[in-house]
Amino acid sequence: MNFKGAIFDMDGTILDSMKLWEEIDIEFLSKRGYGVPEDYMRSIAHMGAMDTALYTIKRFNLTDTPEALINEWLTSALKKYKSVPEKEGVSEYFSYLYENGVKIAVATATERSVAENALEDRGFYRLIDSIVTIADVKRGKGFPDIYLKAAENLGLDSGDCIVFEDILVGVRAAKDGGFLTYGIYDERSAADTKKIKAAADGFIYSFNEMFKD
């Protein structure tokens, strides 16, 4: 391995949870008489909860407060994460990195309480050295800030770390930050697969592929 730290996105990378958020979007928008536009999830994928709430309220002209929307989303997410599967090979790969002394961080747009619960439920939490959320940095995942903060928390430079991401803006931002960057396939970002492959240093469909080197 040519890296000392591994930084993972959570939704769509560690967990196959993008469908969960799609279900939440359908539920809360249908209550308000809207369908989910085709570009909605892509538009919010790199945002934290507050920015997503503000964007949603403006786009759909909602009367909800941002705090009310966030609370509704989090309440639903905490229940739904219980049944979300892991990405193939990720549990084995986490254990492999941990046993070989590689520091592990999670960099996620998901709220900390939800992320911590989801990771603890699956036994990942004890292996992770740092969890960074969008709330911990000034800018969203269109910028390298969250990955740089994760590397800083691990006591490493960006050049010493690999970043795993399933969305194009995340891959590009990590590359801009000087990280070795791998894209991982997720059905919800499949339309960007060709662009992700072009932007990243590597691309995998399963974490089992990381054992081939």
Residues 9, 11, 186, 192: which is the catalytic one? 9
Distance CA 212, CA 28 (A): 43
C-alpha Rg value of the chain to the nearest Å: 17
Helix (H, G, I), strand (E, B) or coil at 80: helix
Residues 36 and 26 sit within 8 Å (Cβ to Cβ) = yes
Q: Is 9 assigned a catalytic role?
A: yes
Contacts by 123-130, CB closer than 8 A, 24 or more apart:
123/91, 124/14, 124/91, 124/94, 127/94, 127/95, 127/97, 127/98, 128/104, 129/103, 129/104, 129/105, 129/153, 129/154, 130/105, 130/106, 130/154
**Dihedrals φ, ψ of 164, to 5°?**
-110, 125
Displacement of CA 72 from its chain's centroid (Å): 20
Q: What positions carry a catalytic annotation?
A: 9
